[in-house]
Structure 1
Amino acid sequence: MVTKHGRRLTTLHPNQSAMPRRRVLLMASSMRGGGSELQTAMLARHLDRERFDVHLYLTEAVGDLLNTIPDDVVVHHPPESFPPRVLDWIPGGMLKRQAEWFRDLVERTQVDVIYDRTFHMTLIAGHPLVQRGSSVDRPRVSTIVSPPEVALPLVEKRFVRLKRRRLALAYRRSAVVIAVSDVARQSAIQYYGLPESLVQTIRNPVDADAIQSRRDNSEIPDRDSGDALKLVVVGRMTEEKGHATLLDAIERLMRDWPAPLPTLHFRLIGDGPLRAGLESRWKDMVLAAGPKDTIHRVEFAGAIQPASTEIAAADGLVLPSHFEGLPNVVLEAFVLGTPVVATRAGGTVELQGSADVPTCHWAVPKDPASLAGAIREFAGQAEQRRLHAVNANRFVLVNHDLRATVDRISDLLMSAGK
């Protein structure tokens, strides 16, 4: 089946043809383009409409990805601000307001199953107010996108112990918990004390057809054209994405760069709270080296959607992350045949099936010297880069198939609570 947007939906299983449609409520913070938002939008497009009536909850109804949501998906979002009350200022007060609004939404729309993804969505959907205030206990399928012992303290910052306890309770009340990698699964089991039977690994899929179609319909310059290697870095500029580590690595490469190797042009795609500081740091590096001795270049290009066109135009993708669940940008690079330099962060290590079939140049997370060494090797090994790209493309098409993954999640959404 194909929607009017031209996107193919998953096929109906023969033994489920007589089953009534389930009203599913997908959850995301916004549609600005983060990895989890991309995955949620993809699910909204590809869930079989003969099996599901699709609704989407957004904390904020903003972002370029809203344009990719089909017209038959009902989008819900709370008001931009709630009328103030004294209890909002105590820890958990605003979360309580969000949970109250969400509870009323669940009751009003009579959804059959909830798909909550990321820490904050689970805190809202799994809040005790939602369960106690509903006439029917709606089952939830929850998704954990990063190893929580690393991610939760970095992402949430405040009241981490309290949120850890609340998340552990919320996940235990889920019908099933999906982890996007084996690393994230084991971390969740240990960090939250979850039973192993509750948590299963379903790796992020990639919409290879859509990515390749965007490339075919875009004017993308040939790779390896010019004297410099064009390296793209895609990610929100927050601490865990490792941009500061990358600048440290580039500083080393400016001091020690063999003459035969091509110079490097790093194009940073994304925005975020650390951008101003990172740009200031790069300017200081240029001043310290002097314009004539600044052999490499760093360009802060800002947020660009979709990033796949930037990845397709690059000679390589660099992922300097401190942790990852399973990075979507690397999956896109694999589809597009763009070679990758990546840190062995979280589930990223699972993007290589075996040591004798390499897919990336690897570096140690949070280690500028290791990252600089990996980039230097990448620049000097053109044949190895091409071999990695071939291996990676084969790997992603076999292991991250969109149809197979959506079918697995669909089966969980259909059976949850039954």
Structure 2
Amino acid sequence: MDIIYDPTYQMTLISGPATKITGTKRISVVVNDPQKDLIHYETRFRRTKRRLLRKRYQSADVVLAVSKGVRDKMIKYYGLADSLVRTIYYPIDTERIDRLLKEPSELLSDSNSNFNVICSGRLHSQKGYVYLIEAAHQLINIRKHDQLQFHILGQGPLREELSALIHQLGLEQSVHLKGFQMNPFSLIKQAQLFCLPSLFEGLPNTLLEAMVCEVPVLATDCPHGPREILKQGEFGQLVPLKDPTALADAIEGTMLNYDKWQALVPAARKRVEETFSLKIGMQKHEELFLELHG
């Protein structure tokens, strides 16, 4: 084996000592904000794991971040040398998405008058769905936008809690937990707006995929990824995180000025093709592998 490519911090904890013994080259990949990853996903021995991870990352041949924001946070949080940490964006297979978009799909809504907002991701506190549901409450129950329909794709540990909140707010007819979807793209394509309400990310693939599906996008300005992808709002909207009112205002603004946001769709797709494509990502990975192997 010439190179170990460990894609999670859990694997980094294991592969670090192993590659030290064998002398194998190692690339440690970081896909999320490292500090928030430990806070949200580790409940025991957090300080010990951080100390061990710092050593593992410092001993890697390359630490590979999926966004510039994650790279900057890795350098700061783990005290890594600038030269050790690089960025290669996670590649998006636009051709595969285009193929899946042609497959038959269920109808997202049975009414052409509905305004459909869609999200996709694991039902976990990281994804901020509680704030989106609270925004839906403001829009539907208070501002009386009855044409709004919210569709959340995915499964995870928060399903029961989110279902209870939807019931508590009387939103059973307007907010739908649609579970895991083998082909989410044909559903995303039917929506009028894709929303990413996350509290933190690394490089949110679902946001990039929605841009490929040519749907207007709205995302929280969370660390890290959305601002980098959307170029400070040039290709979609950014709102503060953990703010249901800001989300509601942005969704309402999209409804009232839909032509403005729909006009960004072609340029948004082109940005993914030119910056985050599979071809570009694979080429950069190949160059990195050859550099280390040589």
Aligned equivalent of 2:4: 114
- The correspondence for 2:194, drawn from 289, 297, 317, is 317
In 2, the alpha carbon distance for the partners of 1:207 and 1:147 equals 24
Q: Name the structure 2 match of 1:46.
A: none
Q: In structure 2, the residue corresponding to 1:324 is in which secondary structure?
A: coil
Residue 121 of structure 2: aligned partner: 235
Structure 2 residue runs of 5 or longer lacking an equivalent are none
- Larger mean CA deviation between 157-166 and 229-238 belongs to 157-166
> Would you say the 8 A contact 2:34–2:73 is kept in 1?
yes
Native 8 Å contact 1:147 1:325 kept in 2 = yes
Match for 2:271 among 395, 402, 410? 395
In the alignment, the residues of structure 2 paired with residue 348 and residue 387 of structure 1 have an alpha-carbon distance, to the nearest angstrom, of 19
* 1:334 positional shift: 0.7
What CA RMSD, in Å, does the superposition of the two structures yield over aligned residues?
2.1
- 1:351 is aligned to 2:237: no
Contact preservation (8 Å) 2:140, 2:148: no
Q: Which residue of 2 aligns with 1:263?
A: 147
* 8 A Cα contact 2:103 2:186, kept in partner: no
Length-normalised TM-score, structure 1: 0.66
Whether 2:162 is the aligned partner of 1:272: answer: no
1:405 CA displacement:
1.2
Task: Tell me how far apart the structure 2 counterparts of residues 310 and 167 of structure 1 sit (CA, whole Å).
Answer: 39
Instruction: Pick the aligned partner of 1:190 from 57, 66, 76.
Output: 76
Aligned partner letter, 1:146 = N
Percent identity between matched residues is 32
Indicate whether 1:301 and 2:178 are aligned. Answer: yes
Q: 1:381 aligns with which of 231, 243, 257?
A: 257
Pick the structure with greater CA Rg: 1
Match of 2:93 in 1: 207
Aligned-partner residue type, residue 181 of structure 2: I
Residues 279-294 of structure 1 correspond to what in structure 2 (within 5 A)? 279-286=163-170
CA 1:223–1:371: 2 relative to 1, 3 Å: same
Q: Aligned AA for 1:302?
A: G
Q: How does 1:40-55 map to 2 (within 5 A)?
A: none
Counterparts in 2 of 1:217 and 1:192: CA distance versus 1, 3 Å? same
2:118 match: secondary structure: strand
For the structure 1 residues 262 and 340, does the alpha-carbon distance in structure 2 shift closer, same or farther, using more than 3 Å as the test? Answer: farther
2:206: which partner in 1?
329
Bigger drift between 395-404 and 327-336 goes to 395-404
How far is 1:223 from its partner? 9.1
Look up the equivalent residue of 2:237 and give its one-letter code: H
Cα offset, 1:352, TM superposition: 2.0
d(CA) in 2 for partners of 1:148, 1:354: 22
Structure 1, gaps ≥5 residues long: 1-110, 287-293
Alignment counterpart, residue 411 of structure 1, candidates 283, 287, 293? 287
CA distance in 2, matches of 1:241, 1:122: 24
Opposite residue 256 of structure 1, the aligned amino acid is: I
1:171 pairs with 2:57? yes
Instruction: Find the residue that maps to 2:151 and give its secondary structure.
Output: strand
The SS at the match of 2:263 is helix
AA matched with 2:248: A
8 Å Cα contact 1:239-1:274 kept in structure 2: yes
**How many residue pairs align between the two structures?**
293
